[in-house]
Structure 1
């Protein structure tokens, strides 16, 4: 094996040893009964692994272009990850979507549920939740002693999530009880015997650990947490580079966000003319929400529609617009076993026996499910979005080492590609006969552009421009309430409960939300640069193949690698 691939593969082996949860996510057997070490020592061990790997890669010379790309891409990710750890930023990632406690809860979604071994693994991992949450409590206490605590809003919201997982929303909402009831042997429920007892006891321990962790957040951590949501320019710059994989001009990007939002909303008004001439955007949205052909009132029927659309899109795009490996021509659409409001994708297992999946955590109270609202979401999470990108990366064993296939992720690259995919489907004509679906896509684009504005504006403490194109609160300062008000004014397809979750997400996960739209911007620029270099030989399908075959990486090394093709 070549040196850089050897270093990368050794990192994966070492990371799996440190993180059984990563092993489960990757589909690597033998670790499903364990949880990660969430103590300060556990985090330090990962940082030490990153330092050793960086040093080894810096000393190794690539033998060809493929290894050069791998070296540059891996170094960029590890250096930024280590920078965040050493600055204490990684510990501050306690928010409504991304934290170690969420990682523990979500890993159970990816575990096999049928068979004696599966049942034993779930019981053992549930029993390990108590120690994992004690370790995480120790870590958060140590960071608080050093003056590093997430904003109070996030601390309290995560505590509420813990309550929700424990069934605070009423009968049928206890995640732990629902988990053990889903475990079967040969498809039959486990109704008696030692495994039934072990599962019940372990679920009770996990529930108690979750309750204790929520109490720690409320009673001990929240009183030490800052009221201020903004993280400041220095921390934001680090976060932005980490999530985008490129250093951007924050002032220029903030100004661009306002311009891009105005451009998209002008397109929305033109699209509304095709649906209901003379009506405003809000009137057209109300019209579509009353259209029985455009909506479901049953989330399971809506899931079935999403599955059918995802399947038909794969069949239609394969071999025509994209090279889609056979292993990833299957995707599962699932309703998540929680009500947190998130929509997310999980990749296939390493051997592809577990397909990739798009998950929708339907917020409590949501009763209307619009096809026109979510068509672009299926493209975003499925094909040509995350499922194609992640799956193709995993299938390219001849081009990418195991680190690149399994552990490399940059939000700007991945989410930028997913937004590019939504836009591409419009370019390819998939909305030509569906102006309602196109309006939904544009509203999603409007939402992502607005996120650029509010995220940079609030966390970097920029003022609202005096000459902003909407004449909205010129010269005022951002806060959480204005953020919600602005987002509500510029999205028509998200209900208030979901929008509140989104607002809290931006407040607590600084720099991540703009990576979608900024990533799309950089993907579009990369395509134009590639097209200019290829001239008459430009092929859109070949661009997609060449770009995705590089694997996931930060957008600066991506642009540099693509320029060498």
Structure 2
């Protein structure tokens, strides 16, 4: 059972060792962190998906309210919290707060401000995308619902029965969006309808309750199994109704909507994912700078795999003849053993891992997932561990060259190390800073930095694995280029290096299209065509998300090098392990703050 208040503090007490916030006019113990954590409680009541991810509403059988009224209720909570923060400490006085309170106040103000900007623009009323939109959030909730004792199975049954009302609320939001002229693009609608169809075709909702018959302890009591099967029927019928609505009603009404969202909406999305108001010209130029650098490194690495080969040929060779694992369960076990070995290798040498952080589970993603691997953080009490998820896309053979660096990204020293460490420190920071207030540029930036760190630490000794690492780095650089390019109309600049054989011609002044982006990615990724198609659809459905990886990594690297230089300037030795420990104790930060905070760490 997860504690309702893992920080161990009440709404009127100050966390151990922390002074009250300067300028407090009411309760002297109120601080920005406590305001943030009270907001976590409020938001958890309004968003059961967030509560489940944090593990703070055990036994809840609720699903989110995606209707316009549900969206407005969450906006009201955000406005009220911002008003409380402003009354406690005006924005102009935040710099005078103790560091831990200053970071909490800045994060809360920026995150809620970004949420409200998107709400006022009506973004929730046209949110149809194959990643992180309501359909995927509901699927993840069902997948993460505990299924152990009798009451947990009963909770799953009740949650499945709530699917019709939940998805009807989502349909109402989409209808309200259409009435306001806010519509999703056809590509996104088709992708989500296909995800629902995939889940239905594979009877995924029924597979959740079928586990009752296969668990070693017998699963749910026999008397509950008929109810579970009926609940799965209800959920599947709701999913089928939404699939049909998307295909038959919504899709014809949005046939003229372009894929690109334009610069104004793109900047809203970019702020959501990076916590910053970006200079898009600077970001676009940086993407090309990294493309040039990584292209040269990939050509050299390809020769180490297959003498004389270009990157595409070397990756094709690895796909056909390199190390591979046969079987879905076999690759799950291999990835688990890989993470266990990595933890043993880095713990005590490059990092100090607390006991709960040493546990991470390898999982296979459910049908209907997007193509990219992903990670889910542990619950606040670690009763649900951190988990990495591999979508199989129907494949049963898995080349390893493309997975090694990815699992440094998803597991250790990547997402799991950072997010599980944040969870471990939630009582020292706040649950908002370590959970609800996560910013992609901080987390995905760290995970991409972790891949580079694995290379720096000499963990990528196999030539194929290192080419896989460079391919992943190149993918993130290309994401910056094509995501900004497709959505905002920025053109291909003069003098860019051309891809190798089989790649597209990059002509100065040409506009980015999904077809050109697909060919560009194909020249350097080694990914199957259907995976690349899924990637391009993902970028178009989540403006600004794809750029958060590389821009976040840039901030982590800049912060590290500034801290190293500061140590050198005062004649002190730079301890990378100590710096990592301090950096992982900061909690979530946006790009407006990240590099500056990292630069001054001891």
TM-score by length of 1: 0.95
Backbone CA RMSD of aligned residues? 1.8
Distance apart, 1:563 and its partner CA: 4.5
2:467 and 2:216 mapped to 1: Cα distance? 46
Q: Which moved more, 1:52-61 or 1:36-45?
A: 52-61
> 8 Å contact 2:128–2:541 — kept in the other structure?
yes
1:312 to 333, 337, 341: 341
1:547 to 566, 573, 583: 583
Q: Which residue of 1 aligns with 2:275?
A: 245
> 8 Å contact 1:345–1:381 — kept in the other structure?
yes
Q: Does 1:514 align with 2:547?
A: yes
Q: Which residue of 2 aligns with 1:170?
A: none
2:433 and 2:226 mapped to 1: Cα distance? 42
Please give the per-residue CA displacement for 1:320-346, whole angstroms capped at 9, x wherever unaligned. 111222111010001112153231100
Q: Which residue of 2 aligns with 1:465?
A: 493
State the SS of the aligned residue for 1:183: helix
2:260 and 2:432 mapped to 1: Cα distance? 34
2:471 and 2:556 mapped to 1: Cα distance? 20
Structure 2 vs 1, CA of residues 53 and 563 (structure 1 numbering), >3 Å: closer, same or farther?
farther
Q: Does 1:270 align with 2:300?
A: yes
1:5 and 1:518 mapped to 2: Cα distance? 27
Structure 2 vs 1, CA of residues 85 and 485 (structure 1 numbering), >3 Å: closer, same or farther?
same
2:464 to 416, 419, 436: 436
State the SS of the aligned residue for 1:278: coil
Distance apart, 1:102 and its partner CA: 1.3
1:211 to 237, 240, 243: 240
> 8 Å contact 2:196–2:368 — kept in the other structure?
no
Distance apart, 1:503 and its partner CA: 1.1
Q: Which residue of 2 aligns with 1:142?
A: 176
Q: Which residue of 1 aligns with 2:82?
A: 54
Structure 2 vs 1, CA of residues 101 and 283 (structure 1 numbering), >3 Å: closer, same or farther?
closer
State the SS of the aligned residue for 1:358: strand
Which residues of structure 2 form unaligned runs of 5+? 1-12, 15-29, 499-504
Distance apart, 1:360 and its partner CA: 1.1
1:482 and 1:287 mapped to 2: Cα distance? 24
Distance apart, 1:519 and its partner CA: 1.0
Structure 2 vs 1, CA of residues 160 and 212 (structure 1 numbering), >3 Å: closer, same or farther?
same
Distance apart, 1:398 and its partner CA: 4.5
Q: Does 1:91 align with 2:125?
A: yes
Q: Which residue of 2 aligns with 1:117?
A: 151
Q: Which moved more, 1:109-118 or 1:27-36?
A: 27-36
1:180 and 1:357 mapped to 2: Cα distance? 21
Structure 2 vs 1, CA of residues 266 and 363 (structure 1 numbering), >3 Å: closer, same or farther?
same
State the SS of the aligned residue for 1:296: strand
2:59 and 2:176 mapped to 1: Cα distance? 28
TM-score by length of 2: 0.89
Q: Does 1:350 align with 2:403?
A: no
State the SS of the aligned residue for 1:357: strand
Q: Which moved more, 1:418-427 or 1:264-273?
A: 264-273
1:301 to 312, 323, 330: 330
2:567 and 2:308 mapped to 1: Cα distance? 44
Q: Does 1:505 align with 2:538?
A: yes
State the SS of the aligned residue for 1:383: coil
Please give the per-residue CA displacement for 1:458-496, whole angstroms capped at 9, x wherever unaligned. 10011222422215133222222122121112211x111
Q: Which residue of 1 aligns with 2:42?
A: 14
Please give the per-residue CA displacement for 1:173-232, whole angstroms capped at 9, x wherever unaligned. 111111110136772155842x12211111111111111111111222212224310000
1:295 and 1:385 mapped to 2: Cα distance? 23
Structure 2 vs 1, CA of residues 559 and 57 (structure 1 numbering), >3 Å: closer, same or farther?
farther
Q: Does 1:160 align with 2:194?
A: yes
Q: Which residue of 1 aligns with 2:25?
A: none
Q: Does 1:64 align with 2:98?
A: yes
Please give the per-residue CA displacement for 1:342-385, whole angstroms capped at 9, x wherever unaligned. 31100111111111000112112x34311111100110000110
1:92 and 1:559 mapped to 2: Cα distance? 34
1:527 and 1:338 mapped to 2: Cα distance? 40
1:254 and 1:22 mapped to 2: Cα distance? 33
Q: Which residue of 2 aligns with 1:362?
A: 392
> 8 Å contact 1:97–1:342 — kept in the other structure?
no
1:90 and 1:445 mapped to 2: Cα distance? 31
Structure 2 vs 1, CA of residues 290 and 146 (structure 1 numbering), >3 Å: closer, same or farther?
closer
Q: Which residue of 2 aligns with 1:100?
A: 134
Distance apart, 1:564 and its partner CA: 5.0
State the SS of the aligned residue for 2:260: coil
> 8 Å contact 2:294–2:473 — kept in the other structure?
yes
Q: Which residue of 1 aligns with 2:529?
A: 496
> 8 Å contact 1:114–1:183 — kept in the other structure?
no
> 8 Å contact 1:345–1:356 — kept in the other structure?
yes
Which residues of structure 1 form unaligned runs of 5+? 168-172
1:526 to 559, 565, 578: 559
Q: Which moved more, 1:527-536 or 1:371-380?
A: 527-536
2:480 to 452, 460, 463: 452
2:381 and 2:219 mapped to 1: Cα distance? 28
Please give the per-residue CA displacement for 1:294-338, whole angstroms capped at 9, x wherever unaligned. 112212212211111101111111121112221110100011121
Please give the per-residue CA displacement for 1:126-154, whole angstroms capped at 9, x wherever unaligned. 00000001111111111110000111111
Number of residue pairs matched?
555
> 8 Å contact 1:411–1:516 — kept in the other structure?
yes
2:70 and 2:368 mapped to 1: Cα distance? 30
Distance apart, 1:399 and its partner CA: 2.4
2:51 and 2:456 mapped to 1: Cα distance? 38
Q: Which residue of 2 aligns with 1:378?
A: 407
